[in-house]
Every structure is written in C-alpha cells, then in structure tokens.
Structure 1
C-alpha cells in the first residue's frame, strides 16, 4: 500500500468515526457546531487574510478580510433556520415525507485563489448536513488550509464535538486529492477545469465550480455611473481572485466613449495596441493562464509585461479593447486578473 493510499484511508476512517457520532446530534446541536465554524472564520478574518496572502502572494488584505467575513456571514444567514436533521417536510397531498440523511464523509478541494473563504463556506455547509469533511487545499495554500482547520477545531472542541469532523491534508497533492475523491462519499471541488473534471470522474457524487467568465452588457438604458461603479468594484476586489468577478463588458456604440471615460476616471488604463500585445503574451503561456499574473496588483502585472508608462503603473485596472470571441481572442475568456476586456 502506497503512502498516498494509506493517508487517504486514515483520513476517511477518522472522518467516519467522527461522523457516526455527529449523526446522532439534534438540529440544535448541529446548528451550534455550524455557528462555531462561522465564528472561527469571522473572528479570525484579518489574521487568516494576512496569513493566506503571505503564503500565496495573492490578493489585497482589506478586500480579503471583507470577503472572509461577508462570505461567512452570508453562508450562516442562508443556513440559519434550514432543517437538515430528520423529517424536514411532509406533503399531505402526495403523502411524501422528506427525511434528511447525512451523506457521510465529504472531500472538499479548495483553490489557491480563495483558500480561506471557500474553506470556511465548505466546512459550514458540510457540517450543516451532519457530515464530516476532509479539506484538500491547493498545494500552494496548504499552510492556510491547515490554519483554517486548526482554528475551526478549536471552536468545535469547545462544544465537545468530535474533532475529526473537520480534517485537512497536511501535504496536499494531485494524487492524494484524487485518492480522497475516490474514497469519500461525496466531493465538493472548487478550482481549475482539470480538478473539477477529475471530481466529476471520481465515481462519486460531485459538486464542482470551475472557470468563470462573467460578461456584462451595458446599453443606453442603463444607469451608467452605477454600472461602472459596480463593475469596477467587482473587477478590482481582492485583485480579481473570484472567478465570478466581471471579466468582459459589451458596450453599445452610442455610449461607448462615455463608459470608457468613466472607467478612466476611476483609475482604469485603456491599453494601447502595443501594450495589449505585451499583456497577452504575459497573461497566457502555451494557451494557459500564467500563474505569475493571477490575482496580482496592476503594477506587478505591468512590470512583468514590460509596460512602463506612468499611467499603466498607477492604474487600478486595465481596459483591453477586443472585438472577437473564442480561442483566437484570449482576452474574451477568463483572465483572473485586474484586466477587463
């Protein structure tokens, strides 16, 4: 038996023992544990934000704190009052009774771009259902994942809940993640398309979130000031670490100039054709997004692309004009950077 298989089996076994105890918890007890997880994330948001940025060199501290707190609070709001134990609904008309049953041990694969907010969210949702979770962080964010789990276990320990309800992989790798996915009862995967495809191919029920490429259409009927404010905020928040942040905008000719000027007024830089070529060669290497530009500051990206104009170096966001879509027009796709096409 290889070390990878042994590690996966040990984690699964510990998770099953903890989950068998947790399965007997009442709805009130489950909700207390979920709230404890939320508190671990919310109260340590600034510490975990700094910790994750120091490890991954991705993100903006003040935005990451907001993200952790807002995502945690939002998840708790959504889960509050929801029934997840025993009988949750009786349809008298059809005679159907709905009974909630835990799925068991769930493997959660989390990305380097959001190693804290995604982890806390996954843990809360998994525990709400009466399950145990094994967190498999991206290798470049493994210390952050371990720290999240340490803080969560501290909080649930205060409630005397089984600590192995929440575990993490100390030395994450692609092979170990796949072993966990094969052995877990269900998989939650957040990351690149390759990882999500692996989750869907694991032979187990899987929920995957991969690439994002949000496109916004602005037409003359829109409140242009409001639209630009919101798009700019979404594009620059935490240096575009969220795959749901705006990636491209489609603007009608009648208001095109006005929209561009309003973006410029907020600190965006409309790149020249020469700068566009340099950006493209820097953002994509061999058809894939260059990890060196993902979730980095505009100044860092400009420097890496050898774009030296003062306006570019001071920009908060880059605007790139693009008329086509598809592989021949890479700026029309996902970028995970502070670049808006």
Structure 2
C-alpha cells in the first residue's frame, strides 16, 4: 500500500482550489447568515482563549500566558464588537442626496501571513474580518508557531462550519516554507495578501504582484513633556512595555525626556522596578539585541527583563520590570535606537520641546517610520502639534503604546494589523479591519 505525500506546491494548490469553491458559495450568503457565522467564531475562540494562549506560549517561548489570554480575548471580543454591526452584504449604504448607492462585494481569497509573536490572536482577528466580508482566508504560518496557528485555525474553521459556512473557507499551510508562502502570495486566485510579520516577508508580499496590505516594524518613541503627570505616565509606559513582555510592535521603544523633569522621571521608573544599566552592562546587553546580520535576536524577544539580563551575564533583581539604557546616538548600528520586542527601553534627554520633536522623528526614520509614537502631556495644544509634525500614523496621547495603538485603550479601530502609510512602505495608515477587505461598487444616478 502506498501513501501519497503532498508537495508544498500541491498543498497550496489544493488549499486554494478548496477555498475558491467555498468562497464562491459563501459569496451568495445573506448578511444574517454571515453575522451568525462570525458570532459563532467569536464565541468559540473566546471559549478557547486560554488553551490557545498556553499553546502559543509553550510553542514559541514568547511572552506570558496571562497576557496572551488578554490578546486572544481582545481579538475575539473587541474585534467582533467593532465589526458585528457593519453592513458588508448587498446594499451597504444609500446616499439619496448624492444619488448614490453603495454595494459591498467580497474580494475572494485572502492570504493571511501570521507572525510568531502574536500567532493565535492574529489568526482570530484576520479570520473574523475575512469572514465578515465573505472572503476565504488561507494562513501562511510562521514555522516557529505552526502548532498553535493550526489549533487556532481548526477552532475557527469548525466554528464557522457549525454555524453554516461551507467547509474550506478558513485553512492553513501545514508544511510552511518560503517556497510555499511565495506560491500562495503569487497565485492568480489570491485576491489580497494581509501581511503581518518581519520586514522581509512584508517586502515579499508587496513584490509578489498581488495586491497587499503589509505593516512594517515599530520603533515607537514616547516623549514625556514637562507638563505631564509623571507618575501616571510612567505607570502606563511600564504596563505597556511589560505587556506580553514587549511582543506588540507598538510598545514603547525609547523614552524621550525633557531635562527639567529627568530626575523625577528616573525616580518614578525606579519606583516601578526599572533597572538602569551602567555603561558596561549596556554594552553587554547590546550584544544580544541584534544578530550579526543586523536583525533582531529572537532569543530575547518576548522574554522577561531578568531573563534578558541573565542571557548577557548580568544579575538584576527578580522583580525588575524593564532594563533602561541612557543613550545619545540614533543610528541603524545602535540597537537601543531600534525596535526591541522585549522589556528594554532607551532613555534620551532633550533640552526643549523642539529638540524632543526632532529626536522622535529621527528615531522613527531610523526604523518604524509611519508606525506609532506617543506623547505624555497636559497641554492639548502641544498634543495637536505633536500629531501634526510626527512621522507616525498613530499618535497616542497619555495612554499605553501597546494597547492604545491596537484600539484597546483608545477609540482607534480594534486591529492587530497596523498600517504605516507610504512613509513606512505600507498601502494604508489605517488600523486594518473589514473596510480594507471589502470592495465597494457604486450605483450613480444622473444629477
């Protein structure tokens, strides 16, 4: 008896053929049918939020279970609540004064690239917005998180089918390779690539010849202006930077502090158990932030501050929340001025507001242009000026960077795919949701 083993290319072809047939049927579903399906997916993924968090943590070693549960809950509950009442089928808007009728139509099959840092929550999020817009979605998983992504996909698919969806709408590549991902992205039946992952993968998505929405790296500066409530600001920054040990790309990366309040900021940070690295310790840690090729070292991603310190041979108190290194240089070769998906913060000192604005933009242009920047201030005029002048798509004021950017502590659209705009090499500045996965045709009458 012989057993047929699918090649990577054959697997992708099979998944696409199945998804195409399922999506063509799903495109005929009513709004009520679609809404019943996403409701069941939301409920089932919420029920499995802890199991999925444990699976992701055990497989990748990134972050911690408690915060991954919160991320799964955010993806299943907050995202669902934000999209459940949006019309996506048939006539979605009537504009009698403009004599226009807007009709929502699905795109087809979406290729969803899933990162290892937020694997299960990203599956839930992308599946919900794809299903809400009557699209099929095929996930290309990061190999380091394959099992947890497979589990999340299975839960989503079974929930959708149980609510009446055709089988095959939601699937995953089970033999993930660069070749398989490339075959998926370049296939003529893929309507859109939704890319969340490393810079190289996002670049590949945009180079595939298929329409794509990709997001670049984050390197979020946070400016603490001299009128800020310092204790509250530091509380929020520490909460944000330690959430899932820094794996959300919008988490703060560099503190930019006015010299007049620097000592007060330092004392507030120490009260929250931040550890200030001396020059020798900073040098040791810097050797572990980047690999020899300049890429972020995965060994430190999503690890606690004491564990990161231990990797560099540094002893810090067990209750250390973040590691802080004072810096003056911004460059591609200085790892402290780049994205660090772990509880490490750079600390820069400025002597004036204008200098702070300039430094924040330097940090963003060094890496993370167009992504996210934060300001802590009690001056609303300065908050507006910050928004006008900073090269970021999300300008957060007096909130947590990690959770504010994704819409957890702000009124931004709840999303786990954050556009960086043209300056960041992205096709949108939006928090991606159903509107980016829905085509709209317009019936226009003579005026």
| Shorter-chain TM-score range | over 0.9
Question: Contact (CA 8 Å) 2:37, 2:164: kept in 1 or not?
Answer: no
Which of residues 302, 317, 320 in structure 2 aligns to 1:315?
A: 320
Distance in 2 of aligned mates of 1:49 and 1:126: 22
Match of 2:311 in 1: 304
Count of residues in correspondence between the two structures: 338
User: Does 2:17 correspond to 1:13?
Assistant: yes
Determine which structure has the larger helix proportion and give its number: 1
Question: Structure 1 length normalisation: TM-score?
Answer: 0.96
Distance in 1 of aligned mates of 2:101 and 2:47: 39
Q: Which 4+ stretches in 1 moved above 3 angstroms?
A: none
In the TM superposition, residue 90 of structure 1 has moved relative to its aligned partner by 2.3
* Structure 1 vs Structure 2 CA RMSD: 1.3
Match of 1:276 in 2: 282
Query: Equivalences for 1:97-108 in 2 at 5 Å?
Result: 97-108=101-112
User: Does 2:266 correspond to 1:266?
Assistant: no
Distance in 2 of aligned mates of 1:201 and 1:305: 38
Distance in 2 of aligned mates of 1:131 and 1:75: 17
Match of 2:246 in 1: 240
Change beyond 3 A, Cα 1:322–1:136:
same
Which structure 2 segments of 5+ residues have no match? 1-5, 347-447
What SS does the corresponding residue of 1:315 show, helix, strand or coil? coil
Question: Contact (CA 8 Å) 2:111, 2:139: kept in 1 or not?
Answer: yes
User: Does 2:298 correspond to 1:291?
Assistant: yes
In the TM superposition, residue 283 of structure 1 has moved relative to its aligned partner by 1.1
What SS does the corresponding residue of 1:215 show, helix, strand or coil? strand
Question: Contact (CA 8 Å) 1:322, 1:329: kept in 2 or not?
Answer: no
What SS does the corresponding residue of 1:164 show, helix, strand or coil? coil
User: Does 2:73 correspond to 1:69?
Assistant: yes
Match of 1:29 in 2: 33
In the TM superposition, residue 299 of structure 1 has moved relative to its aligned partner by 2.1
In the TM superposition, residue 23 of structure 1 has moved relative to its aligned partner by 0.7
Distance in 1 of aligned mates of 2:74 and 2:112: 20
What SS does the corresponding residue of 1:320 show, helix, strand or coil? strand
Question: Contact (CA 8 Å) 1:212, 1:334: kept in 2 or not?
Answer: yes
Match of 2:423 in 1: none
Match of 1:336 in 2: 341
In the TM superposition, residue 323 of structure 1 has moved relative to its aligned partner by 1.3
Distance in 2 of aligned mates of 1:51 and 1:232: 26
Change beyond 3 A, Cα 1:157–1:328:
closer
In the TM superposition, residue 261 of structure 1 has moved relative to its aligned partner by 1.2
Query: Equivalences for 1:115-264 in 2 at 5 Å?
Result: 115-183=119-187, 184-264=190-270
Question: Contact (CA 8 Å) 2:330, 2:337: kept in 1 or not?
Answer: yes
Q: After superposition, give the CA deviation of every residue in 1:211-249 in whole Å (9 maximum; x if it has no partner).
A: 111111101111111111111111000011100111111
Question: Contact (CA 8 Å) 1:22, 1:162: kept in 2 or not?
Answer: yes
What SS does the corresponding residue of 2:168 show, helix, strand or coil? helix
In the TM superposition, residue 174 of structure 1 has moved relative to its aligned partner by 1.4
Distance in 2 of aligned mates of 1:81 and 1:87: 14
Distance in 2 of aligned mates of 1:290 and 1:245: 17
Q: After superposition, give the CA deviation of every residue in 1:271-303 in whole Å (9 maximum; x if it has no partner).
A: 110110001001112112111111112222111
Distance in 2 of aligned mates of 1:154 and 1:4: 24
Which structure 1 segments of 5+ residues have no match? none
If asked which structure has higher relative contact order (CA below 8 Å, sep 6+), I would say 2
Question: Structure 2 length normalisation: TM-score?
Answer: 0.74
Q: After superposition, give the CA deviation of every residue in 1:250-271 in whole Å (9 maximum; x if it has no partner).
A: 0000111111111111111011
